Structure 1
Amino acid sequence: MSDIKGLDWNKTREFNLERTNIWISFAFEILVVVLPYVVIWILIGSSWNTTKYHNYYNFLPLKEFLLSLICIGYVLIALTFNLITYFLKWQREDSFTFTISIALCLAGLIINSIWIDNLSIGGFAIFLKLIFLVVFALIGIFIGTLITMLIRNFRFKIEEEDQILLEAHKNGEEIPSIKKIRLQRAEKYRIRKEQDLQELNRFKKELDEKIAIELKNKKIEKLDQRENKKRNKKSNKK
Structure 2
Amino acid sequence: MSEIKNLDWNKTREFDLERTNVWISFAFEIIGVVLPYVGIWILIGSSWNTEKFHNYYNVLPVKEFLLTIICIGYLIIALGFNLITYILKWQKEDSFTFTTAIALCLTGFVTNSIWIDKLSIGGFAIFLKLIFLVVFALIGIFIGTLGTMFIRNFRFKIEEEDQILLEAYKKGEEIPSIKKIRLEKAEKYRIKKEQEIEELNRFKEELNEKIAIELKNKKNEKLDEKENKKRNKKNNKK
- Scaled to the shorter chain, the TM-score interval is 0.7 to 0.9
Q: For residues 59-74 of structure 1, what are the structure 2 equivalents within 5 Å?
A: 59-74=59-74
Question: Structure 2 matches for 1:1-238, cutoff 5 A?
Answer: 11=10, 14-49=14-49, 54-227=54-227
Distance verdict in 2 for CA 1:54–1:237, change over 3 Å:
farther
Write the distance in 2 (CA, Å) between the matches of 1:64 and 1:177.
53
- 2 CA distance for matches of 1:43 and 1:149? 36
Counterpart Cα distance in 1 of 2:236 and 2:124: 76
For residues 66 and 231 of structure 2, the distance between their equivalents in structure 1, rounded to whole angstroms, comes to: 89
Change (3 A) 1:216 1:41: farther
- Higher mean alpha-carbon deviation, 105-114 vs 207-216, is at 207-216
Q: 1:80 to 1:223 in 2, by over 3 A?
A: same
More moved, 134-143 vs 66-75: 134-143
Q: Give the conservation status (yes or no) of the 8 Å contact 1:96–1:144.
A: yes
Q: CA distance change for structure 1 residues 52 and 232 in 2, over 3 Å: closer, same or farther?
A: farther
Aligned to 1:3: none
Q: After superposition, what is the alpha-carbon deviation per residue over 1:132-181, rounded to whole angstroms, capped at 9, x for unaligned?
A: 22221222122111211111111111111111111111011111111111
Q: Which moved more, 1:103-112 or 1:215-224?
A: 215-224
Residue 31 of structure 1 aligns to a residue whose secondary structure is helix
Amino acid at match of 1:113: S
**C-alpha displacement of 1:42:** 1.9
Partner amino acid, structure 2, of 1:44:
I
- Quote the offset at 1:202 in angstroms: 2.2
SS in 1 for 2:91: coil
**Separation in structure 2 between the aligned mates of residue 162 and residue 214 of structure 1, nearest angstrom:** 54
Moved more, 51-60 or 171-180: 51-60
- Quick one: structure 1 residues 171 and 221, their matched pair in 2 at CA, closer, same or farther if it must change by over 3 Å? same
Distance 2:228 2:31 in 1: 82
Cα RMSD for the two superposed structures: 2.6
CA distance in 2, matches of 1:237, 1:10: 73
- Relative to the length of structure 2, the TM-score reads 0.85
State the distance in 1 between where 2:48 and 2:205 align. 66
Q: Which residue number in structure 2 is paired with residue 4 of structure 1?
A: none
Instruction: Classify 1:230/1:161 alpha carbon distance in 2 versus 1 (closer, same or farther; 3 Å).
Output: same
Over 3 Å counting, the alpha-carbon distance change for 1:226 and 1:19 in structure 2 is: farther
Q: Which structure would you say has the larger RCO, counting Cα contacts within 8 Å and 6 or more residues apart?
A: 1
Aligned length: 231
Give the match's secondary structure for 1:47: coil
CA shift for structure 1 position 74: 0.7
Structure 1 contact 75–107 (Cα < 8 Å) conserved = yes
The answer to whether the 8 Å contact 1:20/1:95 transfers is yes
C-alpha distance in structure 2 between counterparts of 1:54 and 1:79, whole Å: 29
Change (3 A) 1:9 1:126: closer
What amino acid is the match of 1:62?
V
CA distance in 2, matches of 1:58, 1:108: 19
CA distance in 2, matches of 1:174, 1:134: 55
C-alpha deviation, 1:54, in angstroms: 5.0
Percent identity reads: 81
Unaligned runs of 5+ in 1: 1-7
Matched to 1:158, the amino acid is: I
